Amino acid sequence: MNLTQYYLYKLFQAYYKAHLKNYPTISDLPNREFAFIRWDHPGMQRHIGYPNSNFLLDYLVKYAPRHSYRSATIYSTPSADKMEHKGYLGCDFVVDIDSDHIPTSCQHRHNYVICKNCGKLLLGDKPEECPDCHSKKFKKIVWICDECLNVSKEQVHHLIDGFLLKDFNIPLSAIKLNFSGHRGYHVRIESKVFRSLDQEERREIADYVTGQGFSYNIWNYKPVQSNMSGFRIDQPGWPGKIAREFYKVLSQGSDYTENIFSNPRYGNPIRSNVLRILIERRIDLIRKLENKNPIWGIPHVGPTTWHRIFEILRDLIKADIDVVVSIDVHRLIRLEGSIHGKAGLKVVDVPYEKLDEFDPLTDALTFPKESTNKLTIKITAPICPPIRIGKITYDNFQPDEEYTVPLNVGLFLLCKDVAELIKN
């Protein structure tokens, strides 16, 4: 442990000590597996079980881990060191929404990698190999900003509002929502029915909310009239969703419609001549959709283009979730109330009705936002992008320079590994 790590350990420890009395309750705690990555020990310590929360809290205060996890699964013997000996009893349905797998324009501005071999700096995501020395080892700096945090929030709305409440009829009281402590959110359903789902059933749900495996053959396209049976706004499931989204897009005007169908964010945009025809027919299409008329004939618009239009609409509707997490029945998820060691933010419960007003960079700060404590840090990375903490954006950090910053700001920069501690 270097000085910075030791200081972070002490800060994490101070946080856990201060929250012993109001630490969040973990459902079915004696049946959960716990796992940690500590400061003093490489690798993950796992297969840990506790008879009650006092043991967990003792561990958190003693080791103040860099990363803390618990299973979404419930086991009869969670501390058994082989999966087959744990006694699987069921697994909560978990959805992970994280802007790391959702393309955003900001990731090219604030994420970068440094080649561990030659020091080459590259903006954006990790490439296959370094263009200069062909090494495949990189140090990755992943930042957060309002854009990527809001993208995650938007996808939570898609999931809960668009699918869980409406299509699956799950009561809001059964849906648990957490901020993950970094870039995203976890949604959990702990009901008996969901706990008993197998992997294939979980995959079906994941495919449904991401709009995968959708069959467009029901269109019945007639080439001579360029007619086809489209979808109606009153249809259940995906056909109705697509019709309603199409109606919503068209109703927002020509410019909006053009922007949606020509935006490369949603994959291949449709051809400009087809887009012109679509815009010319906009009012007519709106009327058809309103009247629930299923005949969507437009001259020169064939099934391939309709397919593309529907794919763009699907991408606007779907919830961009990490499918692997939802189908894995042995998944470890971040422990509620713990600090995320890569951001210094805490995993907090967010009631869905409060999601819009929830601000991770204010409400998930580890230390009180009123804290007047400061620390002096030195920037060690070649780039330190701006970060907003509370209402203030901290900007213009230069490499090798020292800065005295508020505690929560320093904690973020140290956890991001772009700075080292000089003085606290």
Q: Residues in the site for Zn ion, rule: CB under 5 A?
A: 106, 115, 117-118, 120, 130, 132-133, 135, 145, 147-148
Residue placing its CB nearer to Zn ion in the complex, 139 or 232: 139
Residue placing its CB nearer to Zn ion in the complex, 130 or 375: 130
In 54-171, the DSSP E strands lie at 67-71, 73-75, 88-91, 93-98, 112-115, 121-123, 138-141
Q: Provide the minimum distance between the beta carbon of 123 and Zn ion in the complex, in angstroms, as a whole number.
A: 13
Q: Provide the minimum distance between the beta carbon of 349 and Zn ion in the complex, in angstroms, as a whole number.
A: 24
Distance CA 144, CA 148 (A): 6
Residue 141 phi/psi, 5° resolution? -110, 115
Residue placing its CB nearer to Zn ion in the complex, 135 or 398: 135
The DSSP secondary-structure symbol of 122 reads E
Q: Provide the minimum distance between the beta carbon of 354 and Zn ion in the complex, in angstroms, as a whole number.
A: 22
Put residue 176 in one of left, alpha, beta given phi > 0 → left and psi -120 to 50 → alpha.
Answer: beta
Distance CA 94, CA 174 (A): 12
Residue placing its CB nearer to Zn ion in the complex, 87 or 127: 127
Q: Provide the minimum distance between the beta carbon of 145 and Zn ion in the complex, in angstroms, as a whole number.
A: 3
Radius of gyration of the chain (CA): 25
Residue placing its CB nearer to Zn ion in the complex, 36 or 358: 358
Put residue 64 in one of left, alpha, beta given phi > 0 → left and psi -120 to 50 → alpha.
Answer: left
Q: Provide the minimum distance between the beta carbon of 114 and Zn ion in the complex, in angstroms, as a whole number.
A: 9
CB half-sphere exposure, 382, CA atoms < 13 A: 12
- Judge whether 347 and 337 are in contact, CB under 8 Å: yes
Q: Provide the minimum distance between the beta carbon of 135 and Zn ion in the complex, in angstroms, as a whole number.
A: 5
Q: Provide the minimum distance between the beta carbon of 150 and Zn ion in the complex, in angstroms, as a whole number.
A: 9
Residue placing its CB nearer to Zn ion in the complex, 18 or 118: 118
Q: For residue 333, which of 205, 206, 186, 199 has the smallest C-alpha distance?
A: 186
Strand 73-75, strand 88-91: pairing: antiparallel
Q: Provide the minimum distance between the beta carbon of 386 and Zn ion in the complex, in angstroms, as a whole number.
A: 11
Q: Is 181 exposed, middle or buried (0-12, 13-18, 19+ CB in 10 A)?
A: buried
Length of the chain (residues): 424
